[in-house]
Structure 1
Amino acid sequence: MDPQTRAEACAAAMLAEDAASRGMGIRLEEVRPGQARCSLEVRADHLNGHGICHGGVIFTLADTAFAVACNSYNARVVAQHNSISYLAPATLGVTLIAEAEEVSRAGRSGIYDVRVRQGETLIAVFRGASRQVSGTHLSEGGED
């Protein structure tokens, strides 16, 4: 299986079981080995008490893109540590795009950066540290 096909199959397998991302309306736009792009349209139930998109929703969008990117090699990978900086508010009806990119992957550990944008406006910057655990997403034929 080539790396792109493997990344797509891993994303499909993982997201099929991800009720949280699905329930929030997060969509996978693209996946490549070590990279992912996800989107979310900000709904009324995503708004906080200030009438802007809740930080937890933005974090979840970034975390989903991070998860797809770091699980794209057919190894089960979980978050070890994540941080996020919010730079601008997002409002009702806008579409947010989260783009995750691998910075480093060595042994069982990885570092991924995610930028969340609304158009050209940078909404948040997220950095995730990943840790490989036992297991794979695909049957033996899809493993590395």
Structure 2
Amino acid sequence: MTALLPDVHLARKVLADQPFSALVGARLEVFEPGRAVLALDIHQGLTQQNGFVHGGVLAYAADNAITFAAGTVLGPAVLTSGMTISYVRPALGATLEADATVVSGGRRQAVCRCDLLAVGDDGARTLCAVAQGSVLTTG
């Protein structure tokens, strides 16, 4: 697996240009070889009927973080080809973080793991979900 020199400014522009990412207020906190961390502030508009972050928001965060992490080894022209997610506990807190790392990368495909963490006002971090995804180059 060969990591590229990631361009964090380009990556943040790509994220900002995604209408849904702008809607949920996603931001790219970490973008380095083999890793990306996507974060968003938790608010009522992202919750389901019990007050927990909606599973679709968790899946979105995992998908995007996985794709950005893979882009650090495959280049910017990538798309997720498949993803699974396991929810392990409800997401409550101030911030949701999707921390994705490349597990295996080749010339055309990367496999990534993503831990989804709810971060409380006190900084306590709780694992809420774990995802795995495959990303392919589009070129």
Partners of 1:9 and 1:39 in 2: CA distance: 16
Query: Which amino acid counterpart does residue 47 of structure 2 have in structure 1?
Result: L
Distance 1:121 1:78, change over 3 A: same
Q: Percent identity?
A: 31
The number of equivalent residue pairs is 131
Stretches of structure 1 that go unaligned for 5 or more consecutive residues are 135-144
Q: 1:20 to 1:51 in 2, by over 3 A?
A: same
Q: Which has the larger radius of gyration?
A: 1
Residue ranges of structure 2 left out of the alignment (5+ in a row): 119-123
Partners of 1:98 and 1:29 in 2: how far apart? 10
Secondary structure of 2:89's counterpart equals coil
Structure 1 outlier segments of 4+, above 4 Å = none
- Equivalent-residue separation in structure 2 for 1:68 and 1:10 (angstroms): 11
The answer to whether the 8 Å contact 1:101/1:113 transfers is yes
TM-score (norm 2): 0.84
Q: Which residue number in structure 2 is paired with residue 77 of structure 1?
A: 78
Letter in 2 for 1:26: A
Are the counterparts in 1 of residues 35 and 69 from structure 2 also a CA contact under 8 Å? yes
Verify the 8 A CA contact 2:12 2:28 in the aligned structure 1. Answer: no
TM (norm. structure 1) is: 0.82
Question: Counterparts of 1:126 and 1:63 in 2: how far apart (Å)?
Answer: 8
- SS of the residue 2:62 aligns to: helix
